Amino acid sequence: MTTARNFALATAMLGALAACSGGSHQGEGDQGGVFGALGQVAGQVVAERRGGGEAPAETAAPKSPQEAAAEALRVNQGPLIQAGFESLNRTQVMAMTGQNGALRTYMTPAEEALILRGGMLVGTRGLGNDLSVAEPQTEGLIRAGASGSGQRVMRYFSGDGLERPLQFACTVGAGPNPGVIVENCEGHGATFQNSYMVQGGQIAVSRQWIGPALGYVTIQTLRP
C-alpha cells in the first residue's frame, strides 16, 4: 500500500514538473469560499429557488471538534452533521448541499461528500476509496428498532474501473447500550458492525462501515 503511494507520489511529481500552462481551460482554484463550484451554480443559475444558507467559512487555526461544530452552527443555517473518519483520523463538519427526496448530500469544505438517507449511509464521494452506493435491506428494521436479518449490498468502484457489488448477510438487534441498534454483517471473509441511535425513525448518531479501505465513520447530527 505504501509503495503504491510512493509510486503515485513519484508520478505526481512527474506531473508537477510541468512548469506552467495557460488558456481558457483553467477552471480550478479560483473559488475563495467553501463549496465554490456548487455555491456558484446554485447561486447564479437558480438563485430564486435556492433554500438554505451559506456554507461555513474555512478557518485557519485548527479547532477542536466541539469548537468547529459550534462555529458551523453559528455561520450556517442549513442542516449540518459532524463526521469522524476513523482511518483518516479526522473529524469534520459537513453541510448539506443537496436534497433529493430522502437523500441528502453533505460536503466538507474540500468537497468530499457523504450521502445519507435519513442518517443511513448510502454513499461517499471524493475520498479515493469511495462507497458508490449501499443497498441495505436492513434499513426498515433499524429505523423501527426491530430485530431481524437481511442482506446488504455495498457497491464499490474497483481498481479495474468498474462498479462492483459486495454482498453481506446482516443481523439487526438491540445493542448492549440502551437505545443503540446494532447491525452485524458478514461476507467475503470480512465482518463489520454498524451502530445506530434512532430518534423518530431518523438516525441521529451512528457509526457505520464505509468499506474495506476507509473503515468506519461516526456521524452525528448537529442540526437535522
Partner 1 sequence: MRRSMLIRRLMATTLPAALLMGSVTSTALAEPMYGRNWSTYGLPGGIDTPTAETLPDGTLGATVSWSDYGRRSSVVFQAFPRLTTVLRYSRVDGINDYRNDGYISDRSFDLRFQVLDEQGWRPAVAVGLQDFMGTGVYSGEYIVATKTVTPSVRVSAGIGWGTLAGKPRTIDARDEGGTPNVDDWFRGDAKPFASVSWQVNDKLSLVAEYSNETYQTFYSDRSEPAQQGDEEPGSNLNLAAYYQLGRNYQVGLYTIGGETFGAQFTVALNPREATYPSGLEKAPAPVRPRPAPSADPEGWSGQWAQDPTAQPAIQTALGDAMAKEGQVLESMALTGNRAEVRIRNQRYINQSEAIGRTARLMTRALPPSVETLVITSTADGVPTSSVTLRRSDVERLENTEAGQIAAASVLSDAPASAPGLVRSPETYPRFQWALKPYVDLGIFSAEDGLTHEVGAEARASYEIAPGLILTGALRQRAFGDISQRGPGIPGQRGEHYTAEEYLADPSLETTPEGLPRVRSDTRMYTGNSDPVIPELTLAWYAKPTPTVYTRVTTGLLERAYGGVSGEVLWKPVNSPLAFGAEINRVKKRDFDQLFDFRDYEVTMGHVSAYYEFADGFTAQLDVGKYLAGDKGATLTLTREFANGWRIGAYATKTDLSAEEFGEGSFDKGVTLSIPLGWATGQPSRERVTTTLRSLSRDGGAQLNVNGRLYDRVRDSHSVKLYEGWGRFWR
Footprint of partner 1 on residues 138-167 (CB under 8 A)? 155-166
**Minimum distance between the CB of residue 165 and partner 1, rounded to whole angstroms?**
8
Chain positions 177 to 216 lying near partner 1, rule: CB under 8 A, are 188-190, 212-213
Q: Are 157 and 167 in contact (CB under 8 A)?
A: no
Question: Out of 65, 98, 118, 175, which residue is the one contacting partner 1 (CB under 8 A)?
Answer: 98
Distance separating alpha carbons of residues 167 and 155, to the nearest angstrom: 9
Pick one of 112, 152, 170, 185: the residue that binds partner 1 (CB under 8 A).
112
Q: b/e per residue, 77-91, with b = 16+ CB within 10 A? A: ebbbbbbbbeeeeeb
Give the interface size with partner 1 as a residue count (CB under 8 A).
75
Q: How far apart are CA 68 and CA 91, in angstroms?
A: 9
Please give the grid coordinates belonging to residue 213: 479501505
Closest CA to 83 of 198, 190, 213, 214: 214
- Binding segment (CB under 8 A) for partner 1, from list 8-16, 65-73, 141-149, 170-178: 8-16
Site for partner 1, residues 31 to 70, rule: CB under 8 A:
31, 36-38, 40-42, 44-46, 49
- Return the residue of 56, 95, 130, 139 that touches partner 1, per CB under 8 A: 130
Is residue 80 within 8 Å of 223, Cβ to Cβ? yes
18 binds partner 1 per the rule CB under 8 A: yes
- Record the cell numbers describing residue 130, joined without a space: 469511495
